[in-house]
Structure formats: C-alpha cells, structure tokens
A and B are shown apart, each in its own frame.
Chain A
Amino acid sequence: MNSQAGQTTLCMIRLDDQTYGIDMLAIREANQFTQTVRVPGAPPEVLGLVNLRGSLYLLLNLRRMLGLPDRKPGHEDLLIVFRPSQGESFGIVVDSLDDTRVLADRHITPHEADDGIITAIALDKGMSFPLLSPELMYRKAKALINGPQAGPATTNAILLENK
C-alpha cells in the first residue's frame, strides 16, 4: 500500500452507520457535495457528472456498489475525488469523512475481491472494517457499463482526449 514501510494511512469514510477505510494516498481531494447531473443511459452505479472548478468529474454511486440503501445525495454529503492513477477523474459521494488512522500493515488482511470493491479487512482498536479500493470501483463500473445490457461499444466521440 503506501507511505512508510509497514504502515498505511487510511481515511475513514462513513455511509449510514457503516465505516470504511480508503488509502489516503489514493484520494486527491474532498469537497462539499455539488449538484450532479445524471448521465442518460448509464447504469445506476454511475451517479452522474459534476463540475468542480470548471473540470468535469464522473461520480460513482458507492452505496449501490456496496449494496446499501440508495438515497439522493445532498449538501451535507461529501464528495471524494481520487487521483488519476486510480482511474480517470472519478469520485464518490459519502456521508462524511471521519478521521485518519495510521495502521500497521500486519493489521490489514487482503480480501478476495470477487466482483466487489473491498480489497482488505483492517483491524483497529478491536474493531474491524473493510478497506475499499478505488481501482476496483472503477473496474466494476466499467464492467457494468460495457456489460450485456449496455449499448453499442463504439462511439463517435467528438473529442476523446485533449491531446
């Protein structure tokens, strides 16, 4: 994972009454929730597009990916955007960002992903909680979009890249 040898810094996020950890180094920024616009034709795991300071980001619906009850996000929620290495400019919406913890790697046990987004289980202060992987989130969204129910695979995108 990250930082000093044998340790990982985690950001603890909360959804309803569930707590999850995400590698801090994967996170680029956290913002107050801004209005998103649905992407027509995309599966419900795609929450929509959001405009942050002129750049567009894609938001994924973390609740759906975790099987939690879905609800419409609002101003009290938090927007977390991941670094580009995790997948082109995307983010998620969480209820809140609680605290940051540094855990020794021996307290983190890798978890078999099998279509989910949980990459490990961590143990801290007698409590265990799942660690989520942004990369797995991205992959899952991709599979859902390109899956059987999706539209044709090609697109005449006007501008695919800025290059």
Chain B
Amino acid sequence: MEDPAILAEFIAEAREHLSALMDGLLTLENLPEDQFQASINPLFRAMHSIKGSAGFLGLQHLEHLAHATETLLDAMRKGSVAPSPQVTDLLLKVADRLQARIEGLPESEKSGSPNDGELMDKLKACATGKAPPPPVVPAAQPTIPDPLPASSLPQIDPALLQEFVAEAREHLAALSEGLLALESDGKSQGTGGIDPLFRATHSVKGSAGFLGFRGLERLAHAMETLLDGLRKGTVAADRPVTDLLLRVTDRLRAAVDALPADTPAAHDDLIKKIQNVIISGRPDAPAQASPGAGTETQRAQPTLEQPPPAPEAQGADKSATIRVPVEVIDRLMNLASELVLARNQALETLVTPADARGRQLLQRINSVTTDLQQAVMLTRMQPVGTVFNRFPRMVRDLARSLGKRVHLSVTGSEVELDKSVLEKLVDPLNHLVRNACDHGLETPAERLAAGKTEVANLDLSARQEGGQILVRVADDGRGIDPGRVKAKALEKGLVGPQDLEGMTDSQAQSLILKPGFSTAEKVTDISGRGVGLDVVKTNLESIGGTLQIDSVPGHGTTFSLRLPLTLAIIPALVVRASGERVCIPQRDLLELISAANLRARPMSGRFVVELRGQPLETIHLGKVLGLENSGSPGFNRAGFLAVVRAGQRVVALAVDELNGSQEIVVKPLHPLLRGLGLHGGATVLADGLPAPILDIEGVVRAAGPALLAANHSHATAAPSRMEIPSQSAVVFEFGPAERFAVPLSLLKRVDRVLPGQVERIGDRRVARLDTGNLSMIFPDEAMPVGSPDTLPGELFLLTPREGVQGKALVATSILDTTMIPLALKSPPFEHPGILGSTQLGDRLTLVVHPGKLLASSQVEAGRP
C-alpha cells in the first residue's frame, strides 16, 4: 500500500494497540483466575486488529508475526496455555519486535529476518503446548537484518485439514448463494442479508489463519472488509462490486480446494481490487484517496480496524480527546500571547472610559484574555503518566535480569505538566529508577536476612505543590550509608579530609551527587559508571529544578525532584546593559545588589568586587555582549550587580539599570543565533519590543576562564531561593475586606487626618493640612473594593509622588512598612491603578499605583 496517509493512520492505531497489549501483559502474571479472562480478551483483540490491518495493507512480515502472536494469545484465552513468566517474557519480546517493525515502516517490510522466524517458532511451540521456551533475557533494541529464506509450510494434521476444508466449502457455498440473492434483490437488501455472509467469511478467515494458510486468510479478510463496507453503507452494492465479490468467492473456493498449498501473496491481485473498491468505489480505479470521487458510490474510509466479535467498546477507557497537530497548538499560543500583549498595551494607552458600560466592556475583554491565555497554556499540558508508563516494563525487566523482586507502584500519573518540562523529566527518572534497582534495592536473600519483605518496593509519584511539580522516586532498600560515601569520596579525591569535618549525615549523602562518584563495586552496564547523578542534578537545575536526597541507612532512599510547571513562561529579571535590554532568567539569579557602596578592583579586563568579605568576580555585561566600543569600560557605581551561578562558577554581572522582574513567554532562539552561544531564547516585553534572554552559562563562558578559585561562600551554601528583588511598600487598609500596599517609590507623603481637619464641599471632602488642602479620594471611588460601614475618626492620606495634584488616597489604617517583591502576581481584577497583588502573611494584598488610581477615580456617589 503506497498511500502514506493510510500507512500513517495504521501506524498510529497499531501503536495504541501495542501499547494496550504491553500494559496488559505486565499485569497478566499476577492476576487471579477469574480476572484472567477479562484481561486476556482485550489483548487478543488488540493483536487481532494489528494482524488484520497489517494483512489488509499487505504488510506481510508484520502480519505473520502478529498472527503467530494472536495464535498464542488465543490458546491462552482458551485455557490450553497457562500464563507464566516465561510466556510473558516471550510475548513481551515479540511485542518489542512488533513495535520495531511498526516504527520502521515502510522500510521494515522490505526484509524479513531470521530472528522473526525464531520468534515465531517459539510462539508456535508455546501455543501448541510443547515445552515452554527457555526464559528469555530482555534483548537490546531488536534490529531487522537479512531477508528471510522462503518460508516453509507448517505441518498440518491431515484430519484437521479435512475438517477445515469441509467446513470452508460449506461456508463458501452459503456465501455465493447469499451474494447472488443480494445482487438480484438489489440495494433494498439491507444489512440483514449481509450479516450471514460476513460471518461465513469471518469463519473461513479465522480457521485459515489458525492453520497458517496466510494467502487464504488474507483474501478472506479482504472480503470480510468489503462486506463490512457494504453493510455499513460505505460501499455501494452495484454491479462491479458484486461481480468482484463473486469472483473472490470463486477464488476462495479454488484456494480451499488447493490446500494445503498456500502462499501468502497468491491472491494479491484480487486483494488490490478490493482495496480499490473500498477507497474509490471502483475495482480498477487507482488506489488513491480522491476527494469527491464518483457520484453514487460514496467515498469509503478504508476500514483498518477489525470489527471485534463482541460489540463491547474497544478500549472503553479512551477519554474524549482529539488529535491536533503541534503546529496548530503553537499558533494558538502565539495568538494568545499576542492578544495578551495587545491587551496590556490597550490598558496602558486607552483612557479609561467615562461610562460604566465602557469600563465593564474593557474589564470583560481583559478577563477573557487572561482566561484564554491560561486555557491555551493548558493545551500544552500532558499527564506525567506518559513518562511514567515506561517504568513498569523497565522495572520488571531490570528486576528479572538482576535477580531481584521489585514491586513498582506509580501514583499521580494524571498530574499534568507542560510538555517542555515533561521531556526533561525522562532522563533523570530513567537514571534514578535504574539506580534504585541496581544499587538501592537488595536481593531477596539480603532482604530476608535484614528482616524485610522479600519483594522490594519502589514508589514513583507525582504531585503538584504550589507552582511546582514534585516527583519522587522512593525505595525501601539499603539507604545511603554516610560513612561509606565519605570514604569513597575521600578515596576518589573528590573531597579533602578537612571538608569532611563537621559534615552532617545529610550532607555526606549529598556527596553522591558529585561528578565522578560511584559506589558500585563493579561497573555494571546499567548505571555504575559514576557519571550519572551529577548530570541528573545539573540537567534539572538548568531548567530551574532541584534534586533532594533523603535517606535512612538500612531503610531506604527517596529522591525528590522539584520542577517548574512550565518552561514556556519563566520569571526573569529585565536589565539594561550598555543601552540594550536583556533578560536574565531568575533561576540563574542568586542575588541582586546595588553597585553603589562596593569596592571594585580591575583585573584582566574584568573586576573583582568585595561582597561580605569575599572576593567576587564581576563582569561588565555590556562588554561581554559586545555592546561596548571601548575595550575597558568603567565600573558603574550607579548600576547594579546581578550575582549569577553558571555551573560551578558564581560571578556578578554589572548592569546599568534594572527594569523589573517579569514573567516572560520564552520564544525559541532563531537558529542562526545559536552559534553565538550567548542567548537561550527571546521574548517580547510589555512594550512590544523584543528582548533576548541570556544563556547565563554561555555569557560567563564568553567572559573567559575563572579569575578566582571556586567561590565557596556561594557555591556550597545551600542554594536557597535567591534574594527576591523587592521594594519597600506601605501596607494599609480601607474597608473591612481588602488589604493594600503602595510602593514607597510612588509615594510622596503620608498624613494623618483628624475629623476637625476635614471639611465638606459639595460631595467632596477636603482635608486642611499645613502643607495645603487635599481632596480626599476614597479607594472605593477609584476601584471596585469595599468600604467600611462607618469611617473612623482618624484617617490617613497618601499623596502620590507624581500625577494628580491636590488629591490624596484615604486609608483607615496604616499597618506596616515592609518589603514586597518587585515581581507581582496578577491581581484578582484588572484596573489601571492596580499594579498587581502579592501575598503578605496570609493575606492577599493589592499593590496600587496611587497616581494612576487617583487619575482614574470617579465620584459616583456622595458620601454621607
């Protein structure tokens, strides 16, 4: 079959069947008798589907293998073969081979392989109850080598053959009679007439298959598909079609007569014609899906699915989903981001409408935009189960090859992550799981001797915690022995004796994360190379994640991975260096300090700055980025130092301005720019202008080799959350419900006002202060917040630094002056005067811009 679209669809569906098959096989061994039947039937049907579709598409090698597997599964479900680890092993191996073949289509069909023949022999031996095959060690990726020599006919019991031939002849007789009746009665026959024909063909096909008569089976299957099309109405029963049906029936009878001689390709000519009919309605049309072909004959979808014998829902657990190309999702994301950008700009430039309806409209556009963006972000979310689901098989195989018994429990498969994070999770988890099986868990004998259960437990779990995903790999094995780890680290020269002094057990256990560490006695193939865990940790950290070890010697170890929910949006610090704006991802940022009071010594084109008594290498960011014309720009005392970590190095980047912390949408780096090694992506900031996102490691590398020896003060200190860039703010209240904060930088003064100082002029209240009169604006006049039932006697007035003159915002109480983050969260509602929100203690606090608030305020109702 040449049509790539049909092949692609086959591959997609076969993948799903295989996946269901493999999952099912793993649980089969441990099932009690009564659940066995229910479990094996879907497996049989899945294989049956694959076989049928492969046959229909002429994928012979695939079909043969699938058929042999189906036979074994059939024997199992009939009870003539009992499930056992050996049988499951064999089936899993075959499933692997099928997968390899399917993934390798269409090339894989060009050659058979002796390995396939060997597998099929084993399958046959198993199915017919001969000695079960010897335990199969899971092989590496199956390859598809040289072509198979001409296949030999299976040995058939003559009595069995006789019976089959007799039965088949009866079926075929009924078939041709029925077809003739169909033709003479015309279209009005309905499905009632076709069902018996279908069943007859199905029987012939089934028996032919079981006995290994592939040619006959394939032809019967094609016939069956055509009949199915007829009864569904997707194929019209016109003259050419019934002619063909009759021809096929004749051929079937001839084939039965010729048994036991049968070759797989014997009837390809007729099968092709059937395929043509199904696609285009005519036996001789080219087998291409042509839209709108024919007038009366409907365009039929080639039915690749074998209709299951029972009408049970196939794969009843299929949730209501839809497949969408990735490009479409990306386009949605772009459009949503654009809309958010336009919304932001609109809020900044459009004057708040004078009427309530206009404001409401703006507010609505606002909130719908936010919701849209969030919903689109969700489309990128996938359940972590897609990564988890490979582990039951891996653990099973590993355990068997290591002679251990492991019970894997997986929880939280439904937790969703952005696909970018999911991709990064695979390698670390692979490594940790293998590690646990290889090193962490003991053999059954060791466990019994230690008073544990023979079967070891390995738990894989995922949970969402705040803005992060927490993934855990926990085992109840040996645990990590701090003493042994320390000795090994010393031996390998990874630490010196003085470093070990005063080290806690927990710190000692963390030594296993050092590069070059491994306590494996011999280097096993699986994970003993000693390069693993440090790579895991670095990879995790490169995406803003962390790895934590908790271990109790003798009892077990838990690895905790923390990851951000998405990589597509990251918090970043926007800075200006030599006139250009760039973004520094917050995950690389350790600290942010003003350059004002620092002493800086020039050294080799860079600086060394003293921070808390320690020397810190400082790089002029503009210079490293090639933005400076002069070779040695000076140290800008009015600027800032962004202390960043790049691998093992900790350096400070000297920048001129801070433009605030923002959550930015990461856009991929243009391929041409990759060669620069300075950027990790790009983004569009709120003003619509692009800004590059720095690749901190690349930037630091570009600055040259490290000036100073490893900076211990930063490096070994636990990388706690870096100092969050923050600002001072005044926290106040007005009504009973809300809490507010005003950044000090926006505030000119705060005054206390007593009732005697307040005068009423019309609807307004004016405060008489020494400095002048101030029109008192109440928060609920400016934004939709609550107000107190009665005003207290003492009030406070907050005067903005810039903007409207003669007005001030009223507060009923001033609570505190405190630090709030520079990066604010989105507020519960949008308003020009509201900058964002933040969490102070346990209270949601609205951060306001007093100038803008006052500018937008309207007096809607007089105050009593």
Chain A residues at the B interface, C-beta cutoff of 8 Å: 35-42, 46, 48-51, 53-56, 58, 87-90, 138, 141-142, 145-146, 150-163
- Asked if B129 CB lies within 8 Å of chain A CBs, one says no
Please pick, from B337, B420, B625, B677, the residue contacting A155 in the complex, using a CB distance under 8 A.
Answer: B677
Residue of B420, B669, B676 with most chain A CB atoms under a 10 A cut-off: B676
Contacts of A38 in B (CB 8 A): 580, 627
Please pick, from A48, A50, A159, the residue contacting B420 in the complex, using a CB distance under 8 A.
Answer: A159
Q: With A37-B581, A40-B626 in contact, do A51 and B684 touch (Cβ < 8 Å)?
A: yes
| Contact across chains for B676 and A150 when beta carbons are under 8 A apart | yes
Which residue of B is nearest A143, CB measured? B675
Q: Which of B566-581 contact A (CB under 8 A)?
A: 567-568, 570, 577, 580-581
| Contact across chains for A159 and B672 when beta carbons are under 8 A apart | no
| Contact across chains for B675 and A146 when beta carbons are under 8 A apart | yes
Q: How far is the CB of A60 from chain B (nearest CB, A)?
A: 9
- Asked if B466 CB lies within 8 Å of chain A CBs, one says no
Q: How far is the CB of A129 from chain B (nearest CB, A)?
A: 27
Distance A148 CA – B692 CA, assembled complex (angstroms): 23
Residue of B337, B627, B689 with most chain A CB atoms under a 10 A cut-off: B689
Total residue contacts A-B, CB cutoff 8 A: 143
Contacts of A53 in B (CB 8 A): 338
Q: With A40-B582, A163-B326 in contact, do A50 and B690 touch (Cβ < 8 Å)?
A: yes
Contacts of A157 in B (CB 8 A): 668-669, 674, 679-681, 695
| Contact across chains for A88 and B626 when beta carbons are under 8 A apart | no
Q: With A155-B680, A159-B568, A159-B668 in contact, do A39 and B689 touch (Cβ < 8 Å)?
A: no
Distance A17 CA – B200 CA, assembled complex (angstroms): 83
Q: How far is the CB of B648 from chain A (nearest CB, A)?
A: 15
| Contact across chains for A90 and B670 when beta carbons are under 8 A apart | yes
- Asked if B334 CB lies within 8 Å of chain A CBs, one says yes
| Contact across chains for B689 and A51 when beta carbons are under 8 A apart | yes
Please pick, from A36, A151, A152, A160, the residue contacting B669 in the complex, using a CB distance under 8 A.
Answer: A160
| Contact across chains for A154 and B677 when beta carbons are under 8 A apart | yes
**A39-B673, A55-B334 known, 17 other contacts, Cβ within 8 Å:** A35-B689, A37-B690, A39-B679, A41-B625, A51-B688, A56-B667, A142-B675, A151-B676, A151-B701, A153-B675, A155-B669, A155-B676, A157-B681, A158-B585, A158-B669, A158-B681, A161-B668
Sampled A-B contacts (15; CB under 8 Å): A40-B582, A40-B625, A41-B678, A41-B702, A42-B673, A51-B690, A54-B341, A145-B675, A150-B677, A151-B702, A152-B702, A155-B677, A155-B680, A157-B668, A159-B568
Chain B residues at the A interface, C-beta cutoff of 8 Å: 326, 330, 333-335, 337-338, 341, 420, 542-543, 567-568, 570, 577, 580-582, 585, 625-627, 666-682, 684, 688-693, 695, 697-698, 701-702
Which residue of A is nearest B665, CB measured? A54
Q: With A51-B689, A156-B695 in contact, do A141 and B672 touch (Cβ < 8 Å)?
A: yes
| Contact across chains for B698 and A155 when beta carbons are under 8 A apart | yes
- Majority-rule SS of A interface residues: loop
Contacts of A35 in B (CB 8 A): 689
Distance A133 CA – B129 CA, assembled complex (angstroms): 70
Distance A153 CA – B330 CA, assembled complex (angstroms): 28
Q: How far is the CB of B342 from chain A (nearest CB, A)?
A: 9
| Contact across chains for B330 and A152 when beta carbons are under 8 A apart | no
Q: How far is the CB of A90 from chain B (nearest CB, A)?
A: 7
| Contact across chains for B679 and A155 when beta carbons are under 8 A apart | yes
Smallest CB-CB A-B distances: 10 pairs: A54-B338, A40-B625, A152-B677, A146-B675, A151-B677, A49-B690, A41-B678, A158-B680, A145-B675, A162-B330
Distance A39 CA – B674 CA, assembled complex (angstroms): 12
Which residue of A is nearest B671, CB measured? A88
| Contact across chains for A40 and B688 when beta carbons are under 8 A apart | no
Q: How far is the CB of A11 from chain B (nearest CB, A)?
A: 23
Q: How far is the CB of A135 from chain B (nearest CB, A)?
A: 13
| Contact across chains for A145 and B676 when beta carbons are under 8 A apart | yes
| Contact across chains for A162 and B326 when beta carbons are under 8 A apart | yes
Distance A38 CA – B672 CA, assembled complex (angstroms): 14
Q: How far is the CB of A160 from chain B (nearest CB, A)?
A: 6
Distance A155 CA – B681 CA, assembled complex (angstroms): 10
Distance A137 CA – B693 CA, assembled complex (angstroms): 25
| Contact across chains for A160 and B684 when beta carbons are under 8 A apart | no
Q: How far is the CB of A83 from chain B (nearest CB, A)?
A: 15
Q: How far is the CB of B379 from chain A (nearest CB, A)?
A: 13
Residue of A36, A50, A162 with most chain B CB atoms under a 10 A cut-off: A162
Please pick, from B667, B676, B680, B681, the residue contacting A41 in the complex, using a CB distance under 8 A.
Answer: B676
Which residue of A is nearest B691, CB measured? A37
Which residue of B is nearest A38, CB measured? B580
| Contact across chains for B698 and A145 when beta carbons are under 8 A apart | no
Contacts of A159 in B (CB 8 A): 420, 567-568, 666-669, 681
| Contact across chains for A40 and B692 when beta carbons are under 8 A apart | yes
Which residue of A is nearest B625, CB measured? A40
Distance A145 CA – B688 CA, assembled complex (angstroms): 26
Distance A145 CA – B676 CA, assembled complex (angstroms): 7
| Contact across chains for B695 and A155 when beta carbons are under 8 A apart | yes
| Contact across chains for B672 and A88 when beta carbons are under 8 A apart | yes
Distance A52 CA – B335 CA, assembled complex (angstroms): 12
Q: How far is the CB of B171 from chain A (nearest CB, A)?
A: 51
